A and B are shown apart, each in its own frame.
Chain A
Amino acid sequence: MLLNQFLLLGAVLFSIGVYGVLARRNGVLVLLSIELILNAVNINLVAFGTYTGSISGQVFALFVIAIAAAEVGVGLAIVLMIYRNRQSIDLDELSSMKG
Chain B
Amino acid sequence: MSVAATFAAVFAADLDVAQNVFFAMLALATIVGAIGVVTTTNVVHAALWLVVVLSSVGANFLLMGAEFVGVTQILVYVGAIVVLFLFGTMLTRAPIGKDPTVDNRSWYLGLVVAVPLLAILSYVLIDAFDDTELPSDNVQRTAEVSDSIFGQYLMPFEAIGLLLTATLIGAIVLARKE
Partner-B contacts on A (CB < 8 A)? 1-9, 11-29, 31-33, 35-36, 39, 42-43, 46-47, 49-51, 53, 55-59, 61-63, 65-70, 72-74, 76-81, 83, 89-90, 92
Partner-A contacts on B (CB < 8 A)? 3, 6, 9-10, 15-16, 19-20, 23, 27, 30-31, 34-35, 37-38, 43, 46-47, 50, 53-54, 57, 60-61, 63-66, 68-69, 72-73, 76-77, 80-81, 84-85, 87-89, 91-93, 99, 101-104, 107-111, 113-115, 117-118, 121-122, 125-126, 129-136, 138, 140, 144-145, 147-149, 152-153, 156, 160, 163-164, 167-168, 170-172, 174-175
Residues of A within 8 A of B107 (CB): 22-24
Q: Shortest beta-carbon distance, B105 to chain A, in Å? A: 8
A76–B66 contact, CB under 8 A? no
Q: What are 29 A-B pairs with beta-carbon distances under 8 A?
A: A3-B132, A4-B131, A5-B10, A5-B23, A13-B31, A15-B117, A18-B117, A19-B38, A23-B111, A24-B103, A26-B43, A29-B37, A32-B47, A32-B50, A39-B57, A47-B134, A50-B134, A51-B135, A56-B153, A59-B149, A61-B66, A61-B69, A62-B145, A62-B149, A67-B163, A72-B85, A74-B171, A76-B84, A77-B171
